[in-house]
Amino acid sequence: MMNISQLLKEAESGFGAEGLPTPGLDAEVLLAFSIARERHFLYAHPAKEISGVEMERFRSLVAKRIKGKPVAYITGRKEFWSLNFEVTPDVLIPRPDTEILVEEILRLSGQEKEVKIRILEIGTGSGAISVALASELKNASITATDFSPNALAVAEKNAVNNKVGEKISFLCGDMFDPVEGKFDIIVSNPPYITEHEFELLAPEVREYEPRRALVAGPEGTEFHRKLVRDGERFLENGGRLVMEMGADQRFAIEKMLKEKDYCDIVFHRDYAGLMRVAIAKELKINNLYTW
């Protein structure tokens, strides 16, 4: 028998020797998962002995992590916006930086509490953005798309598990193909890594996460271009397009937006200080309606 503190130390030094970036955290998440407890239980009971079955379970998870599998795919779950999401290898693991898109949309919708806001998300993956928005905005009706049926199945499950299943309609198809109607906000975290950058990503991203969730051609901006071009047809006049982006894509994206009927173009940085979100307002001249 070994206790919690000893098992954590053993796993942490194994992960450290492999050069994994967050060895202590990974060990805690995997041990808590193996004994079906929350992480704070580990801090409260460092001397608690762990049974043989649980210890074997933990060690088999540790072995998977050492081979490079991301912790979220091992446990099958990831927290986003303090909500629990199920993740499978069919969906991108939601990134903390993406919470900025949710924050900005909540800020934009702040003045419109009573109005029914229509939101469209293109490429919902695990459903992270749409589920977080649905949990916050009482009067939102949300449409979320993805071209991967397997990803959509995960997203729908996440909506139901977070009790917002009836607020989100899920549609399968390429970009705007399955979409009808007008929206006040279009949001997307599209693929935006160039083919070259993809080759340079950490193996745990490159070898485990879905390539088609990440890679966007040689420039990395081909999905933004489609969102900017086709988004106009689906945005209400005065509506906003909110896109996640790569840190060095600002000028390319600003140019695309300026070539179309967008104004009030703003960019926001992520917690690491990198440019991460582009927001623009669709505004046809001679129309005074804005929301």
Q: Where does this chain touch ligand GLN (CB under 6 A) — which range of 38-46, 58-66, 188-196, 281-289?
A: 188-196
Report in angstroms how near the CB of residue 247 gets to ligand SAM at its nearest. 15
Q: Taking the chain, what is the end-to-end CA distance rounded to the nearest angstrom?
A: 63
Residue 221 binds to ligand GLN (criterion: CB under 6 A): no
Does the protein bind ligand SAM through residue 220 (CB under 6 A)? no
Task: Decide if residue 158 touches ligand GLN (CB under 6 A).
Answer: no
* Touching ligand GLN, residues 84-123 (CB under 6 A): 95
From 49-57, 121-129, 161-169, 275-283, give the range in contact with ligand SAM by CB under 6 A.
121-129
- Contact status: 205 vs ligand GLN (CB under 6 A): yes
CB nearer to ligand SAM: pick between 8 and 144? 144
- Cα(273)–Cα(257) distance, integer angstroms: 23
Measured from the CB atom, the residue of 27 and 228 that comes closer to ligand SAM is 228
Query: Is residue 225 involved in binding ligand GLN (CB under 6 A)?
Result: no
Q: Other C-beta atoms within 10 Å of 47: how many?
A: 8
Measured from the CB atom, is 62 or 132 closer to ligand GLN?
132
CB 193, min distance to ligand GLN, A: 5
Is residue 92 a contact residue for ligand SAM (CB under 6 A)? yes
Binds 124: which of ligand SAM, ligand GLN, none (CB < 5-8 Å by kind): ligand SAM
Q: Name which position in 73, 81, 183, 192 contacts ligand GLN (CB under 6 A).
A: 192
205, interface contact from ligand SAM, ligand GLN, none, CB < 5-8 Å by kind = ligand GLN
Binding site for ligand SAM (CB under 6 A): 92, 94, 98, 122-126, 128-129, 145-148, 151, 174-175, 189-191, 212-213
